[in-house]
């Protein structure tokens, strides 16, 4: 009893020391922006953007890539916020539906007719590998965010962290990706996110306890 009262007294003595305004929404926005900046920096410095960028940027495939990975980033951010907040409503999971819808549309109504495995034999391995590489800094930053908030399901929170960082990597990689098939993009960008989610779940299970 007395030790609990002592504890309460010492906790209460630090009342009001946390800065207000640093809400979780703001924190994840900053984290996302920083992650994207890191990923873009890596794209420019390591891979370089496509040579025909100006021509490509106004066409449908590029718009699809950006819309799809953008929807993934937005959806995963909302779900990450849900995973980070105790007692949040699970309706946040619906935020992923636009991305799922785009994935389905991209696979079913592929107007480009490019093969699903990409233009070359190694396209899948290269694309997925590069997205994984680009999402590494995002993963570190997002884990920092997640550790500072209060995830009550470490495994799930870790998976969401991985997914968010994977989609950030995919969004950045859209500038460099040479494969324009929407089915290719829909499937293999999602596969990269899934791999990152699995990694994140394993890491999160260990790292996200508090």
Among 45, 54, 58, 209, binds another protein (CB under 8 A): 209
C-alpha triplet 52, 193, 60: angle, nearest 5°: 30
Q: Which stretch binds another protein (CB under 8 A): 6-14, 137-145, 156-164, 176-184?
A: 6-14
Nearer to another protein, 18 or 109 (CB): 18
Please give the residues from 88 up to 147 whose contact with another protein meets the rule CB under 8 A: none
Nearer to another protein, 1 or 54 (CB): 1
Binding to another protein by residue 20, rule CB under 8 A? yes
Residue 174 neighbours by CB under 8 Å, 6+ apart: 62, 65, 66, 69
Q: Which stretch binds another protein (CB under 8 A): 8-16, 60-68, 155-163, 197-205?
A: 8-16
**What's 109's DSSP letter?**
T
Binding site for another protein (CB under 8 A): 1, 3-5, 7-9, 11-18, 20, 22-24, 84-87, 149-150, 152, 209-210
């Amino acid at each position: 009893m007395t030790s609990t009262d002592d504890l309460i007294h010492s906790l209460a003595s630090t009342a009001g020391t946390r800065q207000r305004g640093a809400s979780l929404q703001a924190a994840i926005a900053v984290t996302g922006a920083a992650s994207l900046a890191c990923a873009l920096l890596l794209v420019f410095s390591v891979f370089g953007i496509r040579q025909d960028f100006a021509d490509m940027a106004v066409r449908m495939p590029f718009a699809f890539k950006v819309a799809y990975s953008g929807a993934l980033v937005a959806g995963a951010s909302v779900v990450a916020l849900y995973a980070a907040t105790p007692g949040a409503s699970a309706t946040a999971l619906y935020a992923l539906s636009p991305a799922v819808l785009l994935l389905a549309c991209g696979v079913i109504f592929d107007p480009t007719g490019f093969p699903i495995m990409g233009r070359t034999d190694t396209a899948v391995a290269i694309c997925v590998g590069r997205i994984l590489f680009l999402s590494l800094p995002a993963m570190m930053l997002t884990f920092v965010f997640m550790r500072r908030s209060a995830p009550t399901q470490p495994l799930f929170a870790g998976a969401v962290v991985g997914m968010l960082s994977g989609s950030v990597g995919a969004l950045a990689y859209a500038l460099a990706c040479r494969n324009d098939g929407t089915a290719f993009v829909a499937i293999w960008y999602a596969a990269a996110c899934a791999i990152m989610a699995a990694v994140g779940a394993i890491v999160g299970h260990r790292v996200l306890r508090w």
